[in-house]
Structure 1
Amino acid sequence: MFPELDVEIRPGVGLGQFELGMLQTSISSEQCVDGMSLWTVLDLLRNDPHSFPQVDVKYDPDSPTTPVILHLRPHLDLLFSGTYQRLHTICMKKLQDPHPPATLRYNKATLSSPNEVLRRVGVSRTFGPTYAGDDLRYPGVWFSFEDDSRGEPLNSGSPHPEDKIQEVKRVIVCQKTAGDEADDVLSEVRVCEAMLGDLESAIIKVHDGLILNFYPSSAPSVRIRIGITTAQDLICDLGSPVRVHYREDNRMTIHSKTKKEDIEIDSGYFYNYFQHGIDFLISGTTHVVKKIILHTNIPGTALFQRYKRCPWAIEGQPEDDEDDTPPRKWFYDRFEAISHFLSPREIPPTMQLDRTDEEDGLTLPSSTTKLLGFDGVVLEVTEAAHVVTVMLF
């Protein structure tokens, strides 16, 4: 038996435990509240299967930057923006579906329950007057009288007397806009307070390392350099890692030119910052950063949901000393463009990788990826030419 859903609406902010700015819930010390990311919400749902036992993930397999929808059956749809995967819109539907029953509240007053149907007149009494139209729209929330079947739309303009008893089919919560301006569901979430401290971009400097920029834009950047930055530096700048993983898989060393005995002496360990989508391989002897791995968190891939999406960009050389906007290729660019950016002349040899080999029972439509090594960079690429991970060394 499914638990009853009892949620309160907060216009422009959230619905129940889901917020457009952050998650209103207690999270274990192994998790990080980083503000409305797809990774955070899925992690919450995975750790609370009793509250939401049926979760469907909907996405476009041909594009890594189209919106992702989580269906929390039968009442909730969570829409995440395509580029940065942040919670953009919350929709509550099937208000009278008894499996499970749902109760919707506002300012401690009950709007809808198994014994009370939410109608147009009830919305008007609670929220007051608003602009004319088929739906009742208020800043940060609107009420629709069409269900998922999308039947014939109502006549626009002032409702007729009999329209007062129209039943509300869907309640949508989104960020507040100016006046009666409509919110574009395909747009990115506007910067809000909950993003403070969240990673805004990770600028890759080949043969050097990373520059991490955080919200707000006035926050100081963090520079991480391969062969220079220490494990202690990472903890001071980024906090303690979510997990420390001691390296056990040395299969790739068969392709290394380094002596085998040197590799065995310095096996190293990983600092996993899942909330930023970044791993750091630390030397076991010098305790400095040896390698950096950045994750794109593309739905449908074997690594999906293990890491939050890292908004990385590979930076090229500026055209001259006065050029303060050097060229960059971003995580949403296709492999062909990134490959030409790194090596205009030729594509390097390709190695095949199937991450499902390590996961018993895991099957994916396209589980095989390609590893392509460039000077100082290795790209892991899907069959659809999307870059899953970037490895810097």
Structure 2
Amino acid sequence: MLDLEIVPERSLGCDAWEFVLGMHFSQAVSIIQSQVGTIRGVQVLYSDQNPLSVDLVINMPQDGIRLIFDPVAQRLKIIEIYNMKLVKLRYSGMCFNSPEITPSIEQVEHCFGATHPGLYDSQRHLFALNFRGLSFYFPVDSKFEPGYAHGLGSLQFPNGGSPVVSRTTIYYGSQHQLTRSASGGRCSAPLADLPLSCYRHQLHLRRCDVLRSPTATLGLRLHIYTEAAGARAGSPAARRRVVRFGDSCQAVSRALAAPARLYYKADDKMRIHRPTARRRPPPASDYFFNYFTLGLDVLFDARTHQVKKFVLHTNYPGHYNFNMYHRCEFELNVQPDKCESNALVESLGAVSITAYSKWESVSRALRVCERPVVLNRASSTNTTNPFGSTFCYGYQDMIFEVMSNNYIASITLYQPEGTRPHYAVSSIA
């Protein structure tokens, strides 16, 4: 049985780990992976067809805990303890729920102090006591319902009949709103900022602007934030960085810091689609700088060590790479070359493509390649892909990877080979 400490409006945790409101989904998964053997039977719940309108949930049924993430920001907004019998709970060192201590209304008031009169949900027969950032839910017998108007504490219960907490929620803000969207899959609740304890000396992305000429991509302008240093330590610091095709790996490292991982391409599986007859492998491997918290990969040429490709990830559940990257909040403006009316077309005539655009809207405005390339990812140890194939469509110097639900999984921006400057191999150190 887990012995956990509740911090209202902040977190639920113990000596080994802590789930903090505002943390990214991938950080919560990392905690769970580090507790293999302690946290077991974990379930990830999401909607394949409506990933932006249904909450992203991590359910831990053996511990009676549910972590609810905002589907757009993918950050933790509600921590729910729905089976009080599976955990011990403390507040400021005082235990109020355990096999020996029943979380009755008297016990909650003794531990947390007086509160305002609670709210009653007549449909679910639940009475809620709300503190700032914390709510307790008590099931109330129907015979006591007429007297709930003056608060749960004003009701007279027989000895041993005091209501017991059935569910506890931790959230950010002064009041937990139980309203849901029309589809019923998304619970509205205030979303906390990313906690400073979750920065982990990494850069995080606010927005990515794709820099383009009328027909070609030039680079990226990244609006990023990280932990401030010096006198402003303890608060986030905003930065703006630009990386372009042709930048050296040293220049990219100066702009975006060292990558989270360096990955060498073993082979190029797209080489078969090139028109050239000679397909001998290059003498050296191109390599990626992986920036997981930016949702970005940067590919460098093996000979020139200069940027030749950017990959922007949208991190949708149901994709093979889900949870590897944070979502890249990009904005890509392209001039339309179709006459069909489209909601993506702005007043200036540009097509605005973001991480939330659906492919059917994009393809109605752009003359993309009609026959896609089928991409079926699989690891070297397990050749099966439970999420199925994706489809890659080419347009100018861009490749759109599209999922079966019509959302864009990634966009690859590349510099066509004919436009790259040629360098002698001997001139590269």
Q: Structure 1 residue 249 and structure 2 residue 258: aligned?
A: no
Q: CA deviation at 1:283?
A: 1.5
For the 8 Å contact 2:211–2:218, the answer to whether it is kept is yes
1:56: which partner in 2?
A: 43
Distance change >3 Å, CA 175–CA 353, structure 1 → 2:
same
Which shows bigger deviation, 236-245 or 215-224? 215-224
Does residue 1:210 correspond to 2:220, yes or no?
Answer: yes
Decide which moves more: 123-132 or 185-194: 185-194
Q: Does structure 1 residue 122 correspond to structure 2 residue 107?
A: yes
8 Å contact kept, 1:145–1:169: yes
TM-score computed with the length of structure 2 as normaliser: 0.75
Q: Report the alpha carbon displacement of residue 131 of structure 1 after superposing the two structures with TM.
A: 3.6
- Alignment-derived partner of residue 412 in structure 2: 391
Unaligned runs of 5+ in 1: 22-35
Task: Give the secondary structure class of the aligned counterpart of 1:301.
Answer: coil
1:191 to 190, 193, 218: 193
Tell me the SS of whatever aligns to 1:165: coil
Preserved CA contact (<8 Å) 1:84 1:311: no
For 1:140-187, what per-residue CA distance to the aligned partner results, in whole angstroms no more than 9, with x for missing partners? 11111249xxx999664222122982110111000013xx57376335
Instruction: Report matched runs for 1:1-393 at 5 Å.
Output: 4-16=1-13, 17-21=18-22, 36-65=23-52, 66-74=54-62, 75-97=64-86, 102-127=87-112, 128-133=114-119, 134-146=127-139, 156-157=148-149, 158-159=151-152, 160-162=155-157, 165-177=162-174, 180=175, 182=177, 185-186=187-188, 189-191=191-193, 193-194=195-196, 197-206=203-212, 207-215=217-225, 219-227=238-246, 229-256=247-274, 264-265=282-283, 267-316=285-334, 328-341=352-365, 343=366, 345=367, 347-356=369-378, 360=382, 362-364=384-386, 366-393=387-414
Does structure 1 conserve the Cα–Cα contact (< 8 Å) formed by 2:20 and 2:195? no
Supply the distance in 1 between the matched residues of 2:211 and 2:381 (Cα, whole angstroms): 33
Q: Using the TM superposition, give the Cα deviation of residue 329 of structure 1 relative to its aligned residue in structure 2, in angstroms.
A: 2.1
**Alpha-carbon displacement from aligned partner over 1:300-355 (angstroms, at most 9, x marks no partner):** 2222222222222323469xxxx9997632212211123345x1x45543111111
The residue type equivalent to 1:235 in the other structure is: S
Inter-partner Cα distance in structure 2 for 1:338 and 1:109: 56
> 1:64–1:332: 8 Å Cα contact kept in structure 2?
no
Q: 1:12 to 1:297 in 2, by over 3 A?
A: same
Structure 1 residue 292, shift from structure 2 partner:
0.9
The 3-state SS of whatever aligns with 1:125 is helix
1:72-102 Cα shifts (integer Å, max 9, x gaps) = 12321000101120011101121113xxxx2
The 2-side partners of 1:325 and 1:10 are apart by 50
Whether the 8 Å contact between 1:349 and 1:373 is mirrored in structure 2 is no
Give the letter aligned to residue 182 of structure 1.
Q
SS of structure 1 residue aligned to 2:6: strand
CA distance in 2, matches of 1:294, 1:93: 37
Segment of structure 1 superposing worse, 257-266 or 57-66:
257-266
- Root-mean-square deviation (Å): 3.1
Q: Label 1:356 to 1:83 Cα distance change in 2 as closer, same or farther (>3 A).
A: same
Corresponding residue number in structure 2 for 1:27? none
Q: CA deviation at 1:375?
A: 0.9
Provide the aligned length of Structure 1 versus Structure 2. Answer: 360
Contact 2:316 2:409 in 1 (8 A): yes
User: How far apart, in 2, do the equivalents of 1:208 and 1:188 lie?
Assistant: 38
* Superposed displacement of residue 110, structure 1: 0.5
> In the TM superposition, what is the alpha-carbon distance from 1:130 to its structure 2 partner?
1.9
Are 1:64 and 1:82, in contact at CA under 8 Å, matched by a contact in 2? Answer: yes
Greater RCO (Cα-Cα under 8 Å, separation 6 or more): 1
- Aligned CA distance change for structure 1 residues 334 and 125 (closer, same or farther; 3 Å): same
Assess if the C-alpha contact under 8 Å between 2:218 and 2:244 holds in 1: yes
TM-score (norm 1): 0.82
- Unmatched 5+ stretches in structure 2: 120-126, 180-186, 227-235, 337-346, 415-429
How high is the sequence identity, in percent, across the aligned residues? 25
Deviations 1:172-211 (A, max 9, x none): 000013xx57376335724355377521222223411222
Cα shift readout 1:86-124 (whole Å, capped 9, x = no counterpart): 011101121113xxxx21000011111111111112222
